[in-house]
Structure 1
Amino acid sequence: MLDKTKALCAFLNASHSQYHARRYLTDILDSQGYTALREADEWTLTPGGKYYVTRGGSAVLAFRVPEGEALGFLISAAHTDRPAFKLKENGEIEGVCPRLAVERYGGQLLAPWLDRPLSVAGRVLVQTEKGAESRLLDIDRDLLLIPNVAIHMNRQANDGYKWNPVTDVLPLLASPESKGKFTEMLEKEAGGKILSHDLFLYIRQKASVWGLDESFLSSAALDDLECVWGCFQGFLRSSTGHSIPLFAALDSEEVGSCSPQGAASTLLRQTISRIARALSLDENRLLAQSFLVSADNAHAQHPNHPELADSGNAPRMGGGIVIKFNANLRYCTDGLSAAIMRTVCRKAGVASQDYYNRPDIPGGSTLGCISIGQVSVPTVDIGLAQLAMHSCYETAAVSDAIALEDAMTVYFGSTLRRTEDSFILE
């Protein structure tokens, strides 16, 4: 396995929640000399400086200041969350065996979650003498399982069964003798009394590289941690030109981005405003020379169901970076932004391919369409082709993950000069 792929798998295996993904990224930024900024403080930035800021425990924005003149921003945005089950407060349910009360977070495929070992990860708010302290929690053992109903008792299981979230997806916790011990176990792991929590179920299966030629990568949360990692590695590896490279890993995309740390929030725009102010530059002039790459995975043509893809624009795994188009602006790509992204790919020596939804199958949207309301700059929607999007275990191509790293290295190291309908990428 290539070192780049090993590094991606390590990130995937450590990021069992959006909170753990953020910590993994900021630990690397700390180790590479980036300075943490607090939103509550005044920012002092210096030429050549490296900085990051976080919000909500699950979003991080990192940027570098050019040594010379700063012309604008080269931004990427991806998201740290994934469809999952979120644990309710007062979540233990009595019955034949204790179970946990959960609610659906995002639009996940339900069937793959059943009959496999699960556990719990996220953040807890622990009572201390000085107030509440946020701590990360990851129960690193097989803890839960959502059991299927036997085919003998559910003859419709293979005939389009309709799942009932009230009854069908409650995870089994323990034997009847263990009633009431779940909170006790959580507090022991957290090291104190828990006042509240944001905890999610996750599957215990690790990321896997597989196939006759080891060309496939499967893991939980490839949508969108694969793009987070590719953009992040490109950001770290790049040089800095006259554009300010700005990497953004945001939260809440799977539920509409309407959180203080999501794309609909003020986080990206306020960060840009504060950078401009700290450098004594005009924010609007900087934005006039800026660009955003919205990176969120794309649907590959399914080998068993090729008819579900658009006949002329069906990306394949291993075919390179996917540029996503939609006439009704479910994706932000237009002619100018597509041309910029294709130029980046050409300079990086990586392939690109195009995606349109099949006209009678509406697709989802991305954080790019939401963030553009806060930061109105030319935006391209890209992704990596994958199968089983929103399953708890998804599949993509190893080579595409590497292609994204290479393309984003070129992107973040460039200087963009643009007018209304043309551009120069140096």
Structure 2
Amino acid sequence: MKITKEQSFEENRKFLGFIKECPTSYQTVNTLKKIFDEAGFVQKEEWEYGFWNKDDAFGSPDGEYKGYVIRNDSSIIAFRVPACKSPKGFKIVCSHTDSPMFKFKDNGEYGNSDTCLKLDVEKYGGMITQSWFDRPLGAAGRIVCDVDGILDSILVNISEPSFIIPSLAIHMTRGNDASKTGISVQKEMQPVAADKGLYELIRKEFGIKQSDILGTDLYLYNTQEGCIMGENASLISAPRIDDLQCVYSTMTGFIQTRCQDKPERDEYIKVYAAFDNEEVGSLSRQGASSDFLPVVLRELASVKDITGSGFNRMLSKSFMLSADNAHAMHPNYSEKADVIHRPDMNGGVVIKYHGGQKYTTDACTGAFVKQICKKADIPYQTYYNNSDVAGGSTLGNLVMSNLSVKAADIGIAQLAMHSSYETSGAYDTIYMSEFVKEFYGKETQI
């Protein structure tokens, strides 16, 4: 599969625009909502009566029932139910909407507002802490207000650089190197306001007073824009590449997958899921370990009057891809990689394996992924941890705790994972999207 620099620049320009619109999981889901709305998907609520109304289920020209469900403003599941009478199973792709960053504590402003106002923050997820020093920071997430007796969740985004975490001058650190002694988040990582505090910025931009705010889920984020690097547009650097690169590329593949020329021959329900809280264990009600995906799948099957043992038979014919970025071999730390399985940026889709089952891929499911790649001429590579280096966890095995389907873990190779500014292969954005289209496509049978 040949990718030109023009193709890479055009697609990754869109991807970097997507990142800019998605500072937190709340804005990410809202951005996905807008994209799905424009593509003709209909929002459904878990609580509404007639959630799956069969009378209007297949109103689209291609006979599909296209919709999405949002939970907690920060996780989303979209679906495409075909016109056939009895779907064989589900084709599912999962990714996650959150990234490591600093979370603001309620009413967490202190210090002198005239000289130095600081924010009280805590770590969200496992980050490369020192990468957050001396970065221009904005704040985003959601606030909850009492509006005429009704609690209203409001998305906010202070996108202008308004805070910074200043490092200590080299002249004052001699004999006390922070890289050796560790970094105290409570002492050293408290952001300093440029002039106005966070609540004042919210009041000025959104007209909401601090006294009207009853709850916050607000995060500090790096406002630096991403960039495309190299004469051949081969690399991208940006905040939150993990896991927004998979969120974006799997979404484009999901939307762009064509239906069968004869819709009644499309035999699988296509599902796209983007979960929150992967970076902190996925144990929330909107996380990958929750009942969110199983609930939606059962409701989708019920549209076709499939319940009970019929639903279980559908699961036996289903397949899930857990898409979360992978470690590329670091050119300065090659000893940290496995001696053989050392993914490169722009090397194609990464298939991840782990003997301790942190990844769901086995011989059969990995072969299935490779088969799709070979048929479509999409490059792929394999990842194992260095046997002496512990790896991270991801979505796949957590989803599997509530849903037993065939599954594989895949990703895109990147450097500096969990830094405030990361780097990955630009061509891989396209490789992943094309792979997902093939997975969802009519030729792929499970």
Same fold (TM over 0.5): yes
Residue type of the partner of 2:105? K
For 1:99, the equivalent position in structure 2 comes to 118
Q: 1:146 aligns with which of 146, 165, 181?
A: 165
Q: In structure 2, how many angstroms separate the alpha carbons of the residues matched to 1:210 and 1:4?
A: 14
Cα distance, 1:384 vs structure 2 = 0.4
Q: In structure 2, how many angstroms separate the alpha carbons of the residues matched to 1:235 and 1:6?
A: 19
For 1:87, the equivalent position in structure 2 comes to 104
Confirm or deny that 1:275 pairs with 2:300.
Answer: yes
How many residues are paired up?
A: 414
Alignment of 1:334-345 (within 5 A): 334-345=362-373
For 1:348, the equivalent position in structure 2 comes to 376
For 1:398, the equivalent position in structure 2 comes to 426
Q: In structure 2, how many angstroms separate the alpha carbons of the residues matched to 1:147 and 1:389?
A: 22
Secondary structure in 2 matching 1:26:
helix
Cα distance, 1:130 vs structure 2 = 4.2
Deviation track 1:100-149 (CA, whole Å, cap 9, x = no partner) reads 00000000001111112111011111221141211111112110000001
After the TM superposition, which of the residue ranges 39-48 and 236-245 deviates more from structure 2?
Answer: 39-48
Cα distance, 1:187 vs structure 2 = 2.9
Confirm or deny that 1:15 pairs with 2:31.
Answer: no
Cα distance, 1:213 vs structure 2 = 2.9
In the alignment, is the contact (CA less than 8 A) between 1:72 and 1:416 conserved in 2?
A: no
Cα distance, 1:161 vs structure 2 = 4.2
In the alignment, is the contact (CA less than 8 A) between 1:245 and 1:413 conserved in 2?
A: no
Confirm or deny that 1:244 pairs with 2:269.
Answer: yes
Residue type of the partner of 1:239? R
For 2:141, the equivalent position in structure 1 comes to 122
Confirm or deny that 1:137 pairs with 2:165.
Answer: no
Deviation track 1:387-417 (CA, whole Å, cap 9, x = no partner) reads 0000011000001111000000111113654
Q: In structure 1, how many angstroms separate the alpha carbons of the residues matched to 2:94 and 2:412?
A: 14
Q: In structure 2, how many angstroms separate the alpha carbons of the residues matched to 1:234 and 1:182?
A: 38
Residue type of the partner of 2:214? L
Secondary structure in 2 matching 1:152:
helix
Secondary structure in 2 matching 1:312:
coil
Deviation track 1:50-86 (CA, whole Å, cap 9, x = no partner) reads 1111101011111111122411000000000000000
Cα distance, 1:158 vs structure 2 = 7.0
What TM-score results when the alignment is normalised by the length of structure 2?
0.90
Cα distance, 1:212 vs structure 2 = 4.0
Alignment of 1:69-88 (within 5 A): 69-88=86-105
Q: In structure 1, how many angstroms separate the alpha carbons of the residues matched to 2:151 and 2:22?
A: 24
For 2:339, the equivalent position in structure 1 comes to 311
After the TM superposition, which of the residue ranges 345-354 and 325-334 deviates more from structure 2?
Answer: 345-354
Secondary structure in 2 matching 1:411:
helix
Residue type of the partner of 1:201? L
Q: 2:44 aligns with which of 13, 26, 37?
A: 37
Confirm or deny that 1:414 pairs with 2:445.
Answer: no
For 1:422, the equivalent position in structure 2 comes to none
Q: In structure 2, how many angstroms separate the alpha carbons of the residues matched to 1:259 and 1:29?
A: 24
For 1:423, the equivalent position in structure 2 comes to none
Residue type of the partner of 1:157? D
- 5+ residue gaps, structure 1, are 419-426
Q: In structure 1, how many angstroms separate the alpha carbons of the residues matched to 2:244 and 2:376?
A: 22
Residue type of the partner of 1:77? C
Secondary structure in 2 matching 1:91:
strand
- Runs of 4+ in structure 1 off by over 4 angstroms are 415-418
For 2:247, the equivalent position in structure 1 comes to 228
Deviation track 1:3-51 (CA, whole Å, cap 9, x = no partner) reads 2212111111110111111011110110111111110122123352111
For 2:32, the equivalent position in structure 1 comes to 25
Q: In structure 2, how many angstroms separate the alpha carbons of the residues matched to 1:251 and 1:37?
A: 19
Residue type of the partner of 1:340? F
Deviation track 1:277-335 (CA, whole Å, cap 9, x = no partner) reads 12202211111110000000000000111111001001011111100001110111001
- 5+ residue gaps, structure 2, are 1-5, 260-265
Secondary structure in 1 matching 2:404:
coil
In the alignment, is the contact (CA less than 8 A) between 2:324 and 2:411 conserved in 1?
A: yes
For 2:187, the equivalent position in structure 1 comes to 167
Identity rate, percent: 38
Cα distance, 1:167 vs structure 2 = 0.5
